[in-house]
Homo-oligomer: A and B are copies of this chain.
Amino acid sequence: MNTLSETRPASLCLRAQPLTAEAFAEFGEVLDSTGHTPLLINDGMTERYHALARVDTGGSEGHGLINLFHARPYALPLRLTSMERHPLGSQAFMPLDAQPFIVVVAPLGEQVATADLRAFITNGRQGVNYRRGVWHHSLIALNAPARFIVIDRGGPGDNCDVLPIGGAEGVVLDLVSAQA
């Protein structure tokens, strides 16, 4: 029924797990209030979850940028063929339409080993901040068009490296539940 999954080796299937701060710690921060204690400000009217992440602009030549991304959704299973990293700064994504999205990451390094890829699905409230230099797939929205606020780095220098992954077959991304 599913020609994509029937024609690929099982070892190249990547399954997205629920995103948690602990599981993601190697790659950056989860942007969510869960597990954090707020400061009460504004005469008690506002809870401030302070400094969930820092905007890393890689030195004095860079500056933080605030952008909006409008993403078209992908259908799963999805064949992934490349990963990217931003060597000069962090990059944060926060959903504005309460929609889950998938985060695919790999550890710091000059290469991306297929076996080291990790995939996480957010719960619709969570965002992520990729630490500077962390390999990640481009934005994978699901279900419907979705808006995100993105905080990253502007300034001089080449701030995007791209590497192919998975050879001619790529790597097939799916949810755990879809194949369990």
Contact = CB atoms under 8 A, between A and B. Distances in A.
Interface of A: 31-33, 38, 41-57, 60, 63-72, 74, 92, 94-98, 125, 127, 129, 138-139, 147, 149-151, 154
A151 B43 CA distance: 21
Q: Which 6 pairs, one residue from A and one from B, show the smallest C-beta to C-beta distance? A: A55-B64, A64-B64, A49-B68, A42-B138, A47-B70, A53-B66
Give the oligomeric copy count: 2
Contact of A66 (B44, B54, B65): B54
Given A66-B129, A149-B127, A151-B64, A71 B46 contact: yes
Contact of A69 (B48, B66, B94): B48
A46 to B, nearest CB: 5
A125 B147 CA distance: 10
B52 A69 contact: no
Contacts of A95: 96
